[in-house]
Amino acid sequence: MSAPKAFGVYTARFPFLDSAETKIRPVIVASKPQGPHGVIAVVPVSSRPTREDIDVTINEWSHAGLLKLSVARVHRLTTMLQADLIAELGVLDQKEIKALQASLKKFLNL
């Protein structure tokens, strides 16, 4: 796969926190690939309505390639290998990109 798009929504092999297994989950790419292994920062996406104050609701979910209203779980920001991305679903619209950028800055104290 070529370099992922910034704020693109992708399916990815996402690791469970308590085992070596993975499941396929949507994520939003939040950084360019870094280093020889292509490490990227991603924001997991969930369709569960509960959210933290720092999380961002994706109202334009169909534009992003998602099946229903979803939440970008900024409080779960993590890294993974670019090779774990499977397929591009879509991209966030500009309003949601700005909201996600603001939320990431707040989360990271930038």
Side-chain-side CA neighbours of 47 within 13 Å: the count stands at: 10
Residue 37 identity:
H
pLDDT for 17 equals 66
Q: What number is the average pLDDT over the span 35-43?
A: 95
In the predicted model, is pLDDT for residue 51 greater than 90?
A: no
In the predicted model, is pLDDT for residue 82 greater than 70?
A: yes
The 10 Å Cβ neighbour count of residue 57 is 14
In the predicted model, is pLDDT for residue 39 greater than 90?
A: yes
pLDDT for 20 equals 74
Bridging pattern class, strands 56-58 and 78-81: unpaired
**Confidence class for position 77, pLDDT limits 50, 70, 90:** very high
